[in-house]
Structure 1
C-alpha cells in the first residue's frame, strides 16, 4: 500500500511538473517580468539593495543566481518559478493528509491542475515563491501545534523548518505576513480554549528570532516604500471588500483566463469549498476548518485594509490563499458514501473541466496574452533599413527594450520632461531625428500617463509620412518616413458624410515601383463639429477590384481625432503607402475615405452634388 501511494504521489508530481513547464516560454516576457530580469542582471550588491523595488529581495536574488547558471532565455528565466510552484503541491498533500487521506489525494490533484497556480508558476515574478513558503509555513505550524496538543516535544528541526519556510514567504512578498497573523490568532484562541497558554511561549521565541532576521531589511526598506504609497481611503467599504474577495475566490477556483460568462461558473467551486468548511466543522475537524478559513479570511481582510494605500489590487497578491481554499474544496468533495461517490466524481470533473479550459485559453487564446513587445521588436528587425531610428516613447519600456530590443539599430528614449511643451518637444525631436530617413515610434502603455497631448506622434505626423501603424498588446508601433511635405497639387471639393470636405491631395512619385512607397498627403476640412472619431483608409486596388496595398489610421497618425477638428481648419494628413515587392506592373486605382471603427461604417461621398458611393476614387497610379 505504501508503494502504491508513493507511485500515486509521484504521478501527481509529474503531472504538476508537466503542466508547469509546458509552453513555459510560450508567452512573451511582459513588463513586470522584464523589470525582474533587469534587477537580476545588476551586480549582486544592487540586486539586494532596498532602494530598487517595492518587494523584498529573495526572488531577485534567486533569479540573479539562475541567470548566472542558466542564462537569460525565457525558459531559463521562468524555470525557478515553475520549481517553486511545483514544491507547493507535495506540501499541500502533506497538509491535506492531516485532515484525511482522501482529502490529501484530492487536494494534490486539484493543486496540480489548478489554472491559478500554473499561471503564476510560469511567470518570472516572485508570486510562486511565497506560495511555496506559506504552504510550508502552514504545514509545519500545524505539525508543531499537533505535537503540543499531544504533550509531545517539538523537534528543533521542525521549529527550524517552520522559521525557514515563513522567512521564505515574508522575504518574497509582504502580504504573506497575514499567514503569520492568522497563525498567531489561531494559537492564542486554541491555547486559551485548552487552558494551555504556556504553549505560546516557544512560538514567541521562534517569532522573535524571525523578527531579528527580518527587521534590518524592513527598517531599510520602509523609507523606500513610504514614497510609493497612495491614499484612497474612500475605498474602505464593503463593496471593495466584495470585489477583492470575489475576484480572489474565483481566481482560486478557475484561474484568470476564462471568458467572463464562463468564469462565473467558478462560484460552483466556491460553493463546494463552503460545503467542505461546514462538513469539516461538524465532522470532528473543526479546528482544521477554522485554521484554513482563518488563513483565507485574514488574507482577504488584509488586502482590503491596505488597498487604499496600494496603487491597485491584483489577485496574484493573494496566490498564497489558494492552498487553504483548495483544501476546503477537497473536503467538500471527499468522504461521501454510496451515491455520494457520484458527487465526488462529478464535482472533481467540474473543477478539472473548468481549469483545463482555463489552461487552454491561457496557452492558445490571444485574448489572454501577457505581452507582445517581442513581436513588436521582431517586426522592426525584419523591416529595418539603413538610416532607421527607433524612438521609444515612455521610459517604462526600458526593461523590455533591454531584453528584446535590437542592439545594432540606433535608438533613443524620449524623456518625459521634453514632452511638457511644444517648444521642447520640437527641439528634442528635430535633434534626435536629424540624419535619419525613417523613424520607428514605439508608444508604450497609456499615453495619457506620459504624453497626454501626443506631442511625439503629432510632431512626426506633421513632419513625415505615416508608412505603418499597428497596435500590439500594451504598445503601438508606427513607422514614419521623414520627407519634406509639399502643398496641395490636386485640388478637390468632395464632401464625406456631410461632415468633412476633402480639399485635395499631393501624391509622390507619380509612377510607383514595387517594394517602394507612394507618399500621399490628404487635406481635410471639418464642415461642422463631429461627435465621432473616424478612421482614414487608403487602398490601392488592381483592375479586378482586389486590394493590393493599404494603410488605415486615425488622422495625423492618430494624434488629431476628427472629434477634435474645428470647422474651417485645414488638416494635412500624410501617409506612406508601401507597395508590395511582387506587385505586377500596370494601372491601379487609389481610393480613400473615412469609416467608423469598429462598426466599419463608411461615410458616404458627395461630389458636384451627386452621390458617389462610400469611397473617393482619388487617382489612377501607374506601377512599373
Structure 2
C-alpha cells in the first residue's frame, strides 16, 4: 500500500501539471510558504488533540476484538474476520504495527492517531481542489477540532484508516475527473489500489465508488473515452474484491443473520437515522450528562446552509477553485449523502442500533467538514478577519471535546484494574480462560510482561458467539480438568452480562471440583475468579459446632510449606445445616500469628459463593473447597489457620460450642501452616498498597507505602496500618518503626513503636530485594479534639534509640517522613450520673470500669421473644483496649439460651474512647432462642478482649473477687411454655 506521503506527493505533482489560473497563481511564493506553515500547524494541532489523554478511555469490546485479531496468526485472523462484520486489512496492518511498536493500548491506538492526523492535510488538498485554499485551510481546522473524528482517531479500530483511504480515493478521483483523457495509467492504478484498500478495510467503503460512479454518470459529457476507462476501473475494483466476497460472503450473511436474531435490533426511521448521524458528525458521542449540548449541531447545520447558499451565489466572484461552484457543491453533497442513504437502506434489511453505530460513516464525515468549512469561509470573507472565525469554531467544539476528554465512556467495562490484579498475582505457569475474544485482546493490550497462557473457550466454526462448551458440558469438564492439571492457577474473568450462562456453568464446575482462591468483582459486569488444582491434603480434623446451627463435620487442609505470594492453603470442608438460619452466613478464614495478628483472610459463602447456608434444608450436608492465598510480603514462619461463621447482615459471629454447649470463642483452629519466602520475587504491585510512597532509610531499607482502614476516625479508635518495606541490601541489624500522630502545632499526641514486621522475623534476616509487610495499631486517645492530624514515620535502632537517616540522591534528608493526614472526630462525654437506675449494683471490672446497675424491660418471656437490657457503666480510667460486652441468658447449668455481644453503644461508644469519670448508658436486645425449655433463667454480663477472648475479672464493692461475670440475680427471667 502506498504511504500517505506518496499519495500527497502524487497529488501535488498532478496539481502542478494543471494550470491553476491567475487567481491561484497569487498563492505562490511567500503565500505558499504561509499556507504550508499554517497547514503544518493544523496538522500538529490535530496530532496533539488525537494523542491527548489517549489512555484515559478504557478499551472497549471492539478494540479488544482488534487486538485479538491482530495478535492471532494470519490464517486464524483471515478465518475469523470472514465471519466478522469487517474485512481483514486493518487487522493485517495492525499486526505489522504491533510487531514494531507493541500491543499496549496506547500503541495500538497510535496507529489510528497516525491515520487521523494524516487526514488533515489530505482534506486540505481536497478542499483546495474543490473550492479554494481558504476552504481547504478551514476544512483542515474543522477536521482537526472535530470531536467525532478525534474520538475515532483515538480508537483501535479501522474507522480512522478507512476515512483516510477514502479521502485519498476522493482526491485521486477528483484528479482523474479534471484530467479526463490526460490521466496516466499510473494514476488510474493508484486510484484502483487505494479504493480497493478502503473496501478491504470496511465493507461500507464500497459506497464510495458507487457514489463516485453516480456522480460521473450524472455529470457525464461527451467524453465517452473517460466513461470507458471509468467502467474499466470499476470492473477492476470488482475483480480485486471478488476473492474476498467469494471467501467470506456466505459466512458473513450467516453471521449477520444470527447476530440480528440474537440482538433483536429494529430498523431506524429515516428522520432519526439522519438526525443521529449529523449530530455525531457535529458533536461526536456526547455523554449522557452532557446530552444537552446536542443543540450545537444546529450551529454546524446553519454554517453548511450559509456556506452552500453563499458559494452558489457568489462563488464565481469570490472563490478561486478549479471546479465550478455548482459542481463542487453537488459532488460534496453526493459524497456526504449518498453513502448515508445507502447505509439507511442496509439498515432496513440488516438493522444494527448499538450505541455509536454512526462510526460506520466516519468515511463520509469529511464531506460534512468541507461543507462546514464552506460556511466558515463565507464568514471569513464577510468579516475580512480569520481569527474570530477560528475562535468561534473552537468555542463550539470545546464543550464536546471537554466531554470526551473528561468522561469515561466504558467505566463499567474497564478491565485495567482486573488485569492489574492478575498481573500482580499470576505467574507464567498459570492459565487465563476467556469466553470472549475481546478479553484476549484486553490482556494483550494491558498486561505488562510475559503473559500466562491465554485460552479462548472453543467456538463454533461459523459463529464466534456460539460456544462448544455450552453444547457439550462433558467437553467443558475435560478441558478445564486438563488446564488445571497443567497449570498452577486458572484465572477466569467471567463477564456477567450477555446471558452469562456459560460463565455460570464453568464457575459452578470449578467451584465444586477445585479450590477457589479469589472471587472479586470489578464494576458491575465482571467477576474475576481464580482456582487452584488438587493437591494432597495432609492435616485432618473433626467436628465443630457453630451455635447449634451449623456443624463442621470434618475437614482436611495443606499444612505447607507454602510460598508467600505464590502459594495457597487448600482445604476441604464438610458442612451440615442443623437449624434454620435467618440470613446469609459467611465463612471467615484467617491466617494468624501467635499474637493474633491476621496476615491472610478470606470471606465467602460455601462452594465459591454459589451456595448459601440459609438456603439449605435442615439436616442437609455439603462439601466445600477453599483456597487461601498467602499475600506477598508475609514473613516466613508458622501460622495458625482459623475458621469462623458470621451473619452477613450485622457481622454477628456464631459461638463455637463444646460438647456441653458452652461457648469456646468464635473461631476454630484448623491447623498450623508453614509459610516460606517466595522462590522468585513478586512485583511490588502484588502488595496492593493503598497509599504508595517511597522513602529510603540508611543503610538500605525502602519504605514503599502504607494502607489504612479508613481516612476518618473517632477518638478511641485504633488506626490499623499496614506498612510495606523492601530490603535494598542485606541488613545486619534489627530496626524498629515509630509511627506518630501530630496535631496542627506539631505536638505528638499518640505514638506506636514496634518491629518492622513480626517480632520473630527481624530485619536482620531479610534478604536483599525482599518485600515485607508489617502492622502497626495506633490508638487514638479519648481526649483528642476534632480535627486533622498528621501521621509520620521514622526508623530507629532499638539497641541505642538512634534514628535512621532518610537518604535521597546520596544525601541525608532528615529522619522522618510524613505519611499523610487523617481526620479525627471527637464525641461528647457524659460526666453527670444517670438520674435513676432500676437495679443498682456496684461491681468493678478489672481496674478500669465500674458497673453501676441495669434496667430490664420484663422478666416473663416466651421462646422467640426479646429482652431489652440497659447497662450503666462508669470509666475509672482511660483504656487502651476496646472491650466487648457479653450478655447471656443462661440456665442453671450455664447453657446459653440467648445472647447479645457487642461494642458499647452499638459500636459507637468503644471503651477505648471513654475518659476517666465518664458515664455510659449501654442498651442491648437479647433474643430468646426457639426451643428454650420453660423455667427460670438468669442474665450474665461482663466484658472481654475480643482479640484474646479473655474476660475482665469482676470484684464486689469490698474488692473481693467474683469471677469474670456479673449475674443479674435480682431479676430472674421466667420462660413460659
Q: TM-score band (shorter)?
A: 0.7 to 0.9
Structure 1 pair 213–409 and aligned structure 2 pair: CA distance change class (3 A): closer
| Pair 1:582 & 2:775 matched | yes
Contact 2:491 2:531 in 1 (8 A): yes
Matches within 5 A, 1:56-205: 56-97=87-128, 98-148=130-180, 153-191=182-220, 194=221, 199-205=226-232
Structure 1 position 490 matched with structure 2 position 574: no
Following the alignment from structure 1 to structure 2, what is the Cα–Cα distance between the partners of residues 368 and 250?
21
SS of the residue 1:224 aligns to: helix
Report the CA distance shift for 1:312/1:336 in structure 2 as closer, same or farther (over 3 A).
closer
Structure 1 residues 186, 26: closer, same or farther in 2, change over 3 A? same
Residue matched to 2:599: 515
| Structure 1 stretch displaced more, 166-175 or 362-371 | 362-371
Equivalents in 2 of 1:46, 1:393: separation in Å? 17
Q: TM-score scaled to structure 2, two decimals?
A: 0.49
Distance 1:431 1:505 in 2: 31
Helix, strand or coil at the partner of 1:469:
strand
The answer to whether the 8 Å contact 2:293/2:399 transfers is: no
Alignment partner, residue 362 of structure 1: 404
1:399 corresponds, among 423, 430, 441, to 441
Structure 1 CA distance for aligned equivalents of residues 406 and 456 of structure 2: 33
Q: 1:421 to 1:47 in 2, by over 3 A?
A: closer
Cα 1:487–1:54 shift into 2, 3 Å: farther
2:336 maps to 1:302: no
Aligned to 2:257, the other structure's residue is in SS state coil
User: How far is 1:357 from its partner?
Assistant: 3.9
Q: 1:238-387 alignment to 2 at 5 Å?
A: 239-258=268-287, 259-284=290-315, 285-307=325-347, 308-309=349-350, 312=353, 314-336=357-379, 340=383, 348-367=390-409, 372-383=414-425
Tell me the SS of whatever aligns to 1:172.
coil
Structure with the greater relative contact order (CA < 8 A, sep ≥ 6): 1 or 2?
1
- Partner residue of 1:214 out of 230, 241, 260: 241
- Distance in 2 (CA, whole Å) between partners of 1:461 and 1:236 is 40
1:40 pairs with one of 65, 70, 73: 70
The answer to whether the 8 Å contact 1:445/1:475 transfers is yes
SS of match in other structure, 2:379: coil
1:622 to 947, 964, 968: 947
The SS at the match of 2:172 is helix
Distance across 1 between alignment mates of 2:307 and 2:391: 17
Secondary structure in structure 1 of the residue aligned to 2:255: coil
Contact 1:489 1:504 (C-alpha < 8 Å) held by counterparts: no
Q: Structure 2 matches for 1:503-582, cutoff 5 A?
A: 507-508=588-589, 513-517=597-601, 519=603, 523-524=613-614, 544=716, 582=775
Distance 1:435 1:298, change over 3 A: closer
User: Partner of 1:599 in structure 2?
Assistant: none
- Measured against aligned partners, the alpha-carbon deviations of 1:333-389 in whole angstroms (never above 9, x if no partner) come to 2223786568x8666545423544444443443345696324311112324599987
Q: How many residues align?
A: 551
Judge which range, 269-278 or 297-306, deviates more.
Answer: 269-278
Q: Which whole-Å CA distance do the structure 1 matches of 2:186 and 2:542 have between them?
A: 77
Q: Which residue of 2 aligns with 1:501?
A: 582
User: Which one is further off, 356-365 or 166-175?
Assistant: 356-365
How far off is 1:461 after superposition? 7.1
**CA spacing shift, 1:334–1:422, aligned 2, 3 Å:** same
Matches of residues 422-441 of structure 1 in structure 2 within 5 Å? 440-441=491-492
Aligned-residue offset at 1:298: 1.6
CA-atom RMSD in angstroms: 4.7
* Structure 2 residue aligned with 1:446: 497
Q: Are the aligned partners of 1:114 and 1:355 in contact in 2 as well (CA < 8 Å)?
A: yes
Tell me by how many angstroms 1:485 deviates: 13
**Deviation, structure 1 residue 116:** 1.9
Between the aligned partners of 2:428 and 2:89, the Cα distance in structure 1 is: 44
Shift of 1:161: 3.5
Quick one: distance in 1 between partners of 2:59 and 2:491? 21
- Between 1:389-398 and 1:162-171, the stretch displaced more is 389-398
> Do structure 1's residue 13 and structure 2's residue 59 form an aligned pair?
no
- Cα distance in 2 for residues equivalent to 1:227 and 1:67: 31
Kindly tell me: are residues 449 and 266 of structure 1, through their superposed partners in 2, closer, same or farther at Cα, counting changes over 3 Å? farther
Counterpart in the other structure of 1:469? 520
CA distance in 2, matches of 1:197, 1:8: 41
Larger-Rg structure: 2
| C-alpha distance in 2 between matches for 1:323 and 1:96 | 10
Deviations 1:12-42 (A, max 9, x none): 1222223334444555544433433343344
Quickly say closer, same or farther: Cα 1:185–1:536, change in 2 above 3 A: farther
Whole-Å Cα distance in 2 between the matches of residues 518 and 471 of structure 1? 17
Q: Which has the higher strand share?
A: 2
Contact 2:483-2:490 at 8 Å conserved across structures: no
Task: Tell me by how many angstroms 1:65 deviates.
Answer: 2.6
Q: C-alpha separation between the residues in 1 aligned to 2:363 and 2:542?
A: 59
Give the CA deviation at 1:296: 1.4
- Which 10-residue stretch deviates more, 67-76 or 333-342? 333-342
Q: Residue 295 of structure 1: CA displacement?
A: 1.7
Unpaired runs of at least 5, structure 2:
1-30, 316-324, 459-466, 550-580, 606-611, 617-646, 652-708, 722-772, 779-880, 885-900, 903-923, 929-943, 950-977
Deviations 1:581-603 (A, max 9, x none): 63639769899xxxxxxxxxxxx
- Describe the superposition over 1:486-538 as per-residue Cα deviations: whole angstroms up to 9, x where unpaired: 9871368xxxxxxx933766655597633311546575479xxxxxxxx9677
Other structure's SS at 2:947 match: strand
Q: Distance in 2 between matches of 1:236 and 1:126?
A: 25
The separation in 2 between residues aligned to 1:63 and 1:338, in whole angstroms, is 43
TM-score by length of 1: 0.72
Separation in 2 of the partners of 1:102 and 1:220?
A: 46
**Structure with greater helix share of residues:** 1
Whether the 8 Å contact between 1:58 and 1:172 is mirrored in structure 2 is yes
Partner of 2:767: none
SS state at 2:86 partner: coil
8 A contact 1:30–1:370 mirrored in 2:
no
Q: CA deviation at 1:225?
A: 1.5
